[in-house]
Amino acid sequence: MSSSASKRVVITGASSGIGAATAEAFARRGARLVLAARNGTALDEVAGRCRGLGAEVLTVPTDVTDAEAVQHLADRAAEWLGAIDLWFSNVGVGVVGKFHEVPLRAHRQVVEANLLGHLHDAYAVLPIFLRQKRGIFVNMISIGGFVATPWAAAYAASKFGLRGLSQALRGELSAYPDIHVCDIYPTFVDTPAIRHAGNYAGGETSVPPGVLDPRTVARAVVRLADAPRPSTGIGAPTLLMKLGQVVAPDLGASAMNGFLGRYFGRATPAPATDGNLFAPPATDGRIDGGFRRPGERRTFGALAVLGGLAGVALLAARLARRPGARDHR
């Protein structure tokens, strides 16, 4: 048993991917769990696996875009658990396609789920934390909170917004040393979310080489239960991507736009779909998306290092060209 044993944990978006992996990771440590997502059947599947690992589990089917439903989840969780030690705000959806070609209702739903859904989570649980004078709110953001995502503009807006929400909350809660708001920034993760996403790009979606195992992200969340910290990046390229935003933010977005245009131009044609934006997928409960292939992580890591070195070189060149730079030599 680790020191995270017997924690009382709420996980939204627990029906697949990172949420399901995190539920299992906490279950192995003896945590008591309240699991929430739209798909009650998938929740029951995940809960069954967690109970098999020895955990006590309550499922509360919840759509986080409904503020009243999230308040009910928080009240039910506090009643059943007695207190809430950690709330993992993990819901995330997406839609791929050129901004003006994606229906506006799809853009709105991404923001509703990814930004307002997390705001609803925080609004429901923070009063509980304030009464307890302790608690950990873990905000799943992704590297998309730092790096813009062409062909997924609403996703970028929601993730940039989440980063601002967390920073604002940390400021408001600075007088409460035992209440923590922790952000998670993984790079691409091998979950069913990619296959579930809305798609108006005209071709099948995929992910770049070297995607993370969802269990790697889950372990990071579990560590926060014992040692909370404001920001956790996961995946070798994370710091390098942040550096690229400092050096040349628009250049990176432009390059990504060109890459995606070429990719979808060659991809296997796919019909337009809203995916899981407005209703959960018929099948769920799985952790893995099936995108990982042997030998990819090393290749992606090497490319990331080369990209980072190029970014450092570009930054150094820019600084050297600044007016007055020679005067300080």
Whether 2 is in a domain gets the answer no
Distances (CA, A) of 73 to 70, 90, 229, 308: 5, 14, 25, 43
Positions of the chain with pLDDT under 70: 1-5, 236-249, 252, 294-329
Neighbours of 250 (CB within 10 A): 9
Whether 194 is in a domain gets the answer yes
pLDDT at 240: 63
Task: Tell me if residue 155 is catalytic.
Answer: yes
Measured CA to CA, the distance from residue 322 to residue 113 in angstroms comes to 43
pLDDT at 246: 64
For helices 153-172 and 104-111, the axis angle rounded to 10 degrees is 20
Residue at 317: amino acid letter: A
pLDDT at 132: 97
pLDDT at 210: 77
Name the DSSP class of 143. G
Catalytic choice (123, 155, 176, 185): 155
Residue at 163: amino acid letter: R
Q: How many domains does the chain have?
A: 1
pLDDT at 300: 41
Whether 117 is in a domain gets the answer yes
Distances (CA, A) of 7 to 29, 127, 229: 9, 19, 17
Under DSSP, is residue 199 helix (H, G, I), strand (E, B) or coil? Answer: strand
pLDDT at 322: 53
**Phi, psi for residue 235 in degrees, rounded to 5:** 115, 135
Helix, strand, coil % in the chain, rounded to nearest 5: 50, 15, 35
pLDDT at 307: 45
Whether 147 is in a domain gets the answer yes
Rg, the chain, Cα only: 20
* Cβ contact 122:75 at 8 Å: no
Whether 189 is in a domain gets the answer yes
Measured CA to CA, the distance from residue 109 to residue 277 in angstroms comes to 6
Whether 3 is in a domain gets the answer no
Structural domain boundaries enclosing 208: 8-328
Q: Give the DSSP letter string of 77-135.
A: HHHHHSS-SEEEE-----EES-GGGS-HHHHHHHHIIIIIHHHHHHHHHHHHHHHHT-E
* Cβ contact 96:142 at 8 Å: no
Residue at 118: amino acid letter: H
pTM: 0.87
Measure the N-to-C terminal CA separation of the chain; round to a whole number of Å: 57
Residue the block writes with tokens 């730079």 = 325
Residue at 329: amino acid letter: R
Q: Considering only the C-alpha atoms of the chain, give the largest distance between any 2 of them, rounded to a whole number of Å.
A: 68
Whether 75 is in a domain gets the answer yes
* Cβ contact 9:18 at 8 Å: no
Helix (H) or strand (E) holding 34: strand 32-36
> What's the CATH number where 309 sits?
3.40.50.720
Whether 95 is in a domain gets the answer yes
